[in-house]
Amino acid sequence: MSEFIGSDYETLKQKTKYASWIALKLACDRRGIVSPSYKAFSAAVLSRSGFDQTLKRQGPRAAYSQEAFYWQLEFKTPPHGDLPFEIGHIDHTELDVESVCSRTGRGLGRTWMTLLTDAFSRRILAVHLTFDPPSYRSCMMVLRECVRRHSRLPQIAVVDGGREFHSTYFETLLARYELIKKTRPSAKPRFGSVCERLFGTANTQFVHNLKGNTQLMVRVRQVTQSVNPSGLAVWPFEELHQRLTEYAYEVYDTIDHPALGQTPREAFESGLAKTGHRTHRLIPYDREFLILTLPTTVRGMAKIVPGKGVQIHYLFYWSEAFRNPEVERQNVAVRYDPFDVGTSYAFVGGQWTECHSEHYVTFHGRSQKEIMLASEELRRTRQCHSQQLSITATRLANFLESVEAQEVLLQQRLTDAESRHLRPAASRTQAEQPTTLANPTAIAANGKPLKIANTHVYGEM
């Protein structure tokens, strides 16, 4: 029985207990051995259940929940650091709520949230919201937001195995400010439990209480048009960002955490009071830091179009340095500011040159938060238009094809109409041949002969 459980039941085929017992009974009958009952076989299977059995039948990811939990690395090592800003977790999640455009009301889809969390106090250090899927740009922006709010970065950044955390730009930024990057093992969320648990808390306490949340999409076959979250969405991106940051920095920060016995803000402040503020770790929020955190496009390069400049995210940016004929139509490195859609940078002549877009007048003089929110919404609107471009082109091509077909028919009708009276008489059928009167010398009323030889006669005489 133990042999069959190990070789037949505990395999990736995932046979049922009954199927394995039938195979065992057949083998016993062939050898002349009394086979165990199905009840005894089921009890033996359950006695062996656990991590090893799940690992053999379903693989390591399914068995991970039954794996032994290590509470400490060493006897004297706390699991989440000794002080604030020692260990920070960075991770992404897609919010379960649809957003709309503030101007047109059209749906813009779901947004991605990037969090930077302090492991010691469980405090949310920075939040970044974007429509783009996880990328190194989101990682750099959440670090920029942390420096803007706290003028400091954690000493250790714990990340997962995503490609966005292995970008050259992201690792350069970490190396410049002496941050240690630690990559947690793949498919083992316990190493990022601080951040992973926070995602669930944010969804249950805040996101799932908003109109247009996507909880129903778990059972997508039961979703009808009347209850589809995309049709019920009412939250513009700016209002959603404002309420989300208010929840992260004010509400969650002041609620008692069950693992701490106090609020994250109190744990953070008491930790700084005990261990010191470490002013030598402060980072100025200046031009050098901003340039290092500026992301680039997917290609990283853009062509200088004469009279228009460089195109970044469907928008053109212009600089007086582009007037030089030597740089026209050259591919140059570009970077853009996610907090300001009116400004970007191009590497021309061995230095970064500031460029301005046609929307610079609109965004100039606005606060940084206003510019960031408006810029993100504008980019998403242009992105949605670009995604619909193929659909629009197909519809236009079908329409033009139908117009061209109609033109061919109209042209053919005009040609037939013009050539109908020019066709020779020999080509006409017998029914179309002209008919003459029997007396070609008939006399008219005035006494003159009537020529009717070539007169067509229609109908019966």
Per-residue pLDDT tens for 258-290? 888 899 999 999 999 999 989 999 999 988 898
Q: Which residues contact 363 (CB under 8 A, 6 or more apart)?
A: 340, 341, 342, 371, 374, 375
Task: Read off the pLDDT band of 426 (50, 70, 90).
Answer: very low
Element (H, E) at 268: helix 264-275
Nearest-angstrom CA–CA distance, 128 and 339: 11
Confidence of residue 320 (pLDDT cuts 50, 70, 90): very high
Share of the chain above pLDDT 90, in %: 26
pLDDT of residue 381: 75
- pLDDT tens digit sequence for 357-374: 877 777 665 655 666 777
The answer to whether residues 359 and 344 touch, using CB atoms and an 8 Å cutoff, is no
Q: What are the pLDDT digits (tens) for 5-19?
A: 888 998 888 889 899
The structure tokens listed for 52 are 């090893």
Over residues 58-83, mean pLDDT: 65
Q: Please check whether residue 182 is in contact with residue 166, taking contact to mean a CB–CB distance below 8 angstroms.
A: no
Give the best-scoring range by mean pLDDT among 143-157, 231-245, 335-349. 143-157
Q: How confident is the model at residue 393 (pLDDT cuts 50, 70, 90)?
A: low
**Number of residues that this document lists for the chain:** 461
Which domains can be identified in the chain, with CATH numbers? 2-66 (1.10.10), 87-219+227-291 (3.30.420.10), 296-387 (no CATH)
What global pTM score does this model have?
0.63
User: Are 154 and 117 in contact, with CB atoms under 8 Å apart?
Assistant: no
Mean pLDDT of 154-163: 90
Query: Which of 49, 51, 41, 52 is CA-nearest to residue 18?
Result: 41
Q: What is the pLDDT of residue 438?
A: 44
Question: What is the model's pLDDT at position 367?
Answer: 56
Question: What one-letter code names the amino acid at 235?
Answer: W
Most confident of 191-195, 341-345, 376-380: 341-345
Q: Considering only residues 325 and 375, tell me which one the structure prediction assigns the higher pLDDT.
A: 325
Tell me the pLDDT of the chain averaged across its residues: 79
Task: Tell how strand 87-100 and strand 156-159 pair up.
Answer: parallel
